[in-house]
Amino acid sequence: MTKPQEVPDFLAMFPKVFVKEVPAERPLVRRIMHRISLIETTKLLETPSFKAPQALMPKHKAWINKQMNARILHRTRVPGGASMFVEAKSDGRIRPLVDLRFRNDNTQAAHTQIPEKYTIQNAVARG
């Protein structure tokens, strides 16, 4: 039998990565960049619209305002934009969602391999 290895305390090791509360500011730009190439850049897609329960609207509005104040989100007009909707999480928070599945038909396939999660974690931890 092998002795189980002790799991490092990653929360203590990387307090800037594993924060207790998500900061209300835009995160630093990382060197990990990703682009999605479109087949037809002018093609307008019909995206579905969803209705969210009215009970979630105050939380949704508060979430949007927080993201806008942090300059993570901003309002703009774009051709073929998709609507945002929310679902309730089991802990009472909301999960903001956007359904972009219809855009996959207009996306060029990327034949590059996605980096392993450990490569991404190390890059984020190093800053």
Beta carbons of 75 and 7 less than 8 angstroms apart: no
φ, ψ for residue 51 (rounded to 5)?
-105, 135
**Cross-strand partners of 96:** 86
Domain boundary assignment for the chain: 52-71+82-107
Q: For 47-104, how does the pLDDT look when each residue is reduced to its tens digit (9 = 90+)?
A: 778 888 899 999 999 999 998 988 888 888 877 777 888 999 999 999 999 888 888 8
Q: Which residues, in sequence order, are CB contacts of 84 under 8 Å at separation 6+?
A: 64, 96, 97, 98
CA 125 to CA 76: how far, in whole Å?
32
> Which tops the pLDDT comparison, 15 or 34?
15
What pLDDT does 56 receive? Answer: 93
pLDDT band at 18 (very low <50, low <70, confident <90, very high): confident
Alpha helices by DSSP H, 54-112: 57-69
* DSSP summary character for residue 11: H
* Cβ atoms within 10 Å of 94's Cβ, excluding its own: 18
What pLDDT does 38 receive? Answer: 83
What pLDDT does 3 receive? Answer: 67
* Single-letter amino acid code for the residue at 87: E
- pTM over 0.75? The answer is no
